[in-house]
């Protein structure tokens, strides 16, 4: 993934809104953009096509 653990943490330690796909803080309970409460953690591994 990233070269440094700090960079990887910065890029992957996020929550993604399942309605508008906005990036939110890991401690978020609702989306900053649309207000939805449907958040999921960002995937740590790439999906297979």
Residue 26 lies in a domain: yes
- Whole-angstrom CA distances from 22 to 11, 29, 34, 48 are 14, 13, 9, 22
Measured distance CA(49)–CA(38) in Å, rounded: 25
In whole angstroms, what is the distance from residue 45 CA to residue 37 CA? 24
- Is the pTM higher than 0.75? The answer reads yes
Residue 49 belongs to some domain of the structure: no
Answer whether residue 46 is part of any domain.
no
Residue 47 included in any domain: no
State the DSSP string of 17-43: ETTT--EE-TT-SS-TTT----EEEPP
How do residues 7-49 score in pLDDT, each as one tens digit?
Answer: 999 999 999 999 999 999 999 999 999 999 999 999 988 888 7
Q: For the domain that residue 27 is a member of, what is the CATH number?
A: 2.20.28
Strands 39-41 and 23-24: unpaired
């Amino acid at each position: 993934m990233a070269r440094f653990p700090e960079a990887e943490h910065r890029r992957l330690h996020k929550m993604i809104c399942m309605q508008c796909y906005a990036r939110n803080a890991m401690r978020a309970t609702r989306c900053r953009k649309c207000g939805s409460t449907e958040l999921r953690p960002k995937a740590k591994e790439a999906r297979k096509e």
